[in-house]
Chains A and B, each alone.
Chain A
Amino acid sequence: MWKEIALRRYQSRSQVVPQKSGQLLEKSRPYLYVAPALAFFTLFFFYPIAYMVYLSFYDWSLLDLSAMEWVGLENFHALFTDADFYQVLSNTFVFTVFTVSLGMGIAFFLALWLNHRAKIYGIVQAAIFTPHIISLVSIAMLWLWLMDPQYGLLNAILESFGLPPYSWLADTKSALASLILVSVWKVVGYNTLVFIAGLQSIPKYLYEAAALDRSPAWKTLWKITIPMLSPTLFFLLIINTISSFQVFDTINIMTQGGPVNSTNMLVFYIYEQGMDFYNGGIASAASVVLLLLVALLTLFHFLVLSKKVHYR
Chain B
Amino acid sequence: MARVLLKQVVKAFQDQPVVKGLDLTIPNGSFTVLVGPSGCGKSTTLRMIAGLEEVTDGEIWIGDRKVNDVPPGKRDLAMVFQNYALYPTMNVFENIAFGLQNRGLPRQECKSLVHEIAEVVGLTSYLDRKPSELSGGQRQRVALARAMVKKPQVFLMDEPLSNLDAKLRNQMRVELTSLHKQLGSTFIYVTHDQVEAMTMGDQIVVMNEGRIQQVASPVELYQDPTNLFVAQFIGSPAMNILSWEEEESCLLGFRPEKGRIAATIQPSTEEKGISLRGKVRSREILGAEVLYYVDTRKGQIIVKANHDVELIAEDEDVRLSVAAKDLYFFDEKTGMRVMGQHVHSLPLAGGAV
Contact = CB atoms under 8 A, between A and B. Distances in A.
Contacts, number: 64
B102 interface: yes
A227 B73 CA distance: 22
Contacts of B132: 312
Contact of B102 (A206, A213, A227, A230): A213
Interface residues of A, number: 20
Contact of B89 (A210, A212, A215, A227): A227
Contact of B90 (A205, A208, A219, A223): A223
A214 B18 CA distance: 28
B72 interface: yes
B350 to A, nearest CB: 59
A77 interface: no
Given A205-B85, A223-B87, A228-B88, A211 B71 contact: yes
B89 A209 contact: no
B72 A212 contact: yes
| Size category of the binding interface on chain B | 20 to 34
A215 B72 CA distance: 10
B87 A206 contact: yes
Contacts of A210: 87, 98
Interface string B286-313: 0000000000000000000000000000
A206 B83 CA distance: 10
A310 interface: yes
Given A215-B102, A219-B102, A208 B88 contact: no
A209 B96 CA distance: 11
B87 A209 contact: yes
Interface stretch (B56-64, B74-82, B107-115, B210-218): B74-82
Given A208-B85, A228-B88, A214 B52 contact: no
A211 B14 CA distance: 24
Interface string A204-240: 0110111111111001000110011010000000000
A301 B8 CA distance: 57
B344 interface: no
Interface in A169-217: 203, 205-206, 208-216
A209 B85 contact: yes
Given A212-B78, A215-B102, A206 B72 contact: no
A215 B85 contact: no
Given A215-B98, A216-B102, A209 B88 contact: no
Contacts of B98: 210, 213, 215, 223
A203 B51 CA distance: 18
Nearest to B150: A213
Contact of B79 (A203, A212, A215): A212
B87 A224 contact: yes
Contacts of B150: 213
A205 B79 CA distance: 11
A211 B72 contact: yes
B99 A214 contact: yes
B72 to A, nearest CB: 4
Nearest to B79: A212
Nearest to A230: B89
Contact of A224 (B51, B79, B89, B146): B89
A66 to B, nearest CB: 61
Most A-side CB within 10 Å, residue of B52, B89, B98: B89
Contacts of A216: 102
Given A212-B78, A215-B98, A219-B102, A205 B83 contact: yes
Interface string B162-191: 000000000000000000000000000000
26 contacts: A203-B85, A205-B85, A206-B85, A208-B50, A208-B79, A208-B85, A209-B81, A209-B86, A209-B87, A210-B87, A211-B52, A211-B73, A212-B50, A212-B77, A212-B79, A213-B150, A214-B73, A214-B74, A214-B103, A215-B73, A215-B102, A223-B89, A224-B87, A224-B89, A230-B89, A312-B132
Interface of B: 50-52, 71-74, 77-79, 81, 83, 85-90, 98-99, 102-103, 132, 146, 150
Given A212-B51, A213-B73, 8 more contacts: A205-B83, A206-B87, A208-B50, A211-B52, A212-B73, A213-B146, A228-B88, A310-B88
